Amino acid sequence: MRFNDLVQVELYKVFRKPRTYIAFAAITAIVSVIQLGFYADGKSYMQFGMQSLSDTFEVQGNILNGYLMTYLILQLLLVHVPLLIVLVSGDMVSGEAAHGTLRLLLTKPISRTKLLMGKFTAAFIYTMMLLLWMAIWALGLSLIIFGADDMLILKSEVVTQIVSTDILWRYLCAFGYAALAMTTVAALGFLLSIFADNSIGPIIATMSIIIVFTILNSLDLPFFNSMKHYLFTSHMLGWKGFFDVKLNEDNQQIVGSIENLPAILNSALVLFAHIIGFLALAFLSFRKKDVLS
């Protein structure tokens, strides 16, 4: 059987399950609610947020624009999207085991490696489609509703203004990076689904790992600091780095620049290494697995 056919079969199964659409519906609902809220009351919210700045600076233009909205939405959503990703990836093998179809699948003349590759490819495509849906809904719709303008990002000590013509490519990069981060989550869920005979276990286990790692990230203790670099959760919000702009000697922004590209690439490399590690472990385990379900 050709690999493409195998992926088609796996995708068909994924998209015939109602749970697959929960994620799309959840993203649609959450993004719409946020957009509606800001559309109704966003101006007063922004005035309140800009209070400290308006004493010193005169801020003109459409501050609450589509680009800023997308940034806010991504900050809120990308923390929760892993749950939606793992709903499918954590079910890819364990769901088959739970329903007893895994043993039937493995009596077919397809190598276990190829079967697993097909399943992960389907989970990956689902992840990309979910992110694309999020991009269209968050960025596309926000630009239509709120329009485009320069983007102001408020950080603890710095306000960054990015000109509107210098933003879109940053979002493309940010979504690309988010794709890598979410693929890491998908790979972890996929790995855990090899060992379970029900779908709930891998989903809960994946989310537990993410929560525990996130807590470890937030603890500022020397013992934990040394291990933070190796935790994939430390690198999942690295997409924000694409919105840090490099300054020249006159403290002027350099259009088209990224302040710390090596740090982003380093984080991307850590995520990529995790994906490879999770998948390698999944393939090795699955090849030796006795199917008793």
C-alpha to C-alpha distance for 249 and 253, rounded to whole angstroms:
10
DSSP-assigned letters across all residues of 256-267: T--TTHHHHHHH
93-97 long-range contacts (CB < 8 A, ≥24 apart) are 93/119, 93/190, 93/193, 93/194, 93/286, 94/192, 94/193, 94/194, 94/195, 94/196, 94/197, 94/198, 94/199, 94/201, 94/202, 95/193, 95/199, 97/196, 97/197, 97/198, 97/291, 97/293
Q: By CB under 8 A, is residue 285 in contact with other proteins?
A: no
Span from 77-85, 99-107, 162-170, 273-281 in contact with other proteins (CB under 8 A): 99-107
Which of 97, 179 has the CB closer to other proteins? 97
Region near other proteins per CB under 8 A, out of 97-105, 194-202, 222-230, 244-252? 97-105
Both tokens assigned to 144: 């239509």
User: What is the closest distance, in whole angstroms, from the C-beta atom of residue 193 to other proteins in the complex?
Assistant: 17
What span, in angstroms and rounded, lies between the C-alpha atoms of 27 and 71?
15
User: 3-class SS at 17?
Assistant: coil
Q: Which is nearer to other proteins, 108 or 251 (CB)?
A: 108
Window 166 to 225, contacts with other proteins (CB under 8 A): none
Q: Tokens 């649609």 map to which residue?
A: 28
- If one asks whether residue 256 binds other proteins (CB under 8 A), the answer comes out as no
Residue of the chain from 75, 101, 113, 252 that contacts other proteins (CB under 8 A): 101
Question: Is 3 a residue that touches other proteins (CB under 8 A)?
Answer: no
Interface characters, 5-44, with other proteins (x: CB under 8 A): xx--x--xx--xx---------------------------
Binding of residue 58 to other proteins (CB under 8 A): no
> Does 283 participate in binding other proteins (rule CB under 8 A)?
no
The secondary structure of residue 137, as a DSSP letter, is I
Please say which residue, 92 or 210, places its beta carbon nearer to other proteins: 92
Considering beta carbons, is residue 7 or 271 the nearer one to other proteins? 7
Report the distance separating Cα 104 and Cα 71, nearest Å. Answer: 46
Site of interaction with other proteins (CB under 8 A)? 1, 5-6, 9, 12-13, 16-17, 99-101, 103-111, 288, 290-292
